[in-house]
Amino acid sequence: MPRMQVYLPDELYKVVKEQRLPASELLQDAVRAEVHRQELLGETDRYIEELVDEVGEPSPRAAVRGDRLAAEVVARRQRRKAV
């Protein structure tokens, strides 16, 4: 398995050492999660492009409504995380 040198801010390094966290495993998990997130974003972009090709660009009114709905979803998610 290839090796890679990674730099951490002092506060993260201190936490990793104090709590004896498996830094290599944590980094692998974080990289996998980020790669997956980026793949999902790419799929979302492709889906939106296909949708726009199929039905056209949303009207300004529909775009505002969509932005409001998206903000509502984010707010609900944040409230659930806070509980």
Q: Among residues 73, 70, 48, 72, which one has the least CA distance to residue 58?
A: 48
- At 1, the pLDDT band (50, 70, 90 cuts) reads confident
Neighbour tally for 16: CB within 10 Å: 15
pLDDT per position as a tens digit, 13-58: 999 999 999 999 999 999 999 999 999 999 999 999 999 999 999 9
Between 82 and 14, whose confidence is greater? Answer: 14
Q: Are 61 and 40 in contact (CB under 8 A)?
A: no
- Whether pTM > 0.75 for this model: the answer is no
Q: Are 22 and 29 in contact (CB under 8 A)?
A: no
Q: Residue 63 pLDDT > 90, yes or no?
A: yes
Coil, helix or strand at residue 73: helix
Q: How far apart are CA 53 and CA 63, in angstroms?
A: 16
Rounded average pLDDT over 58-77: 96
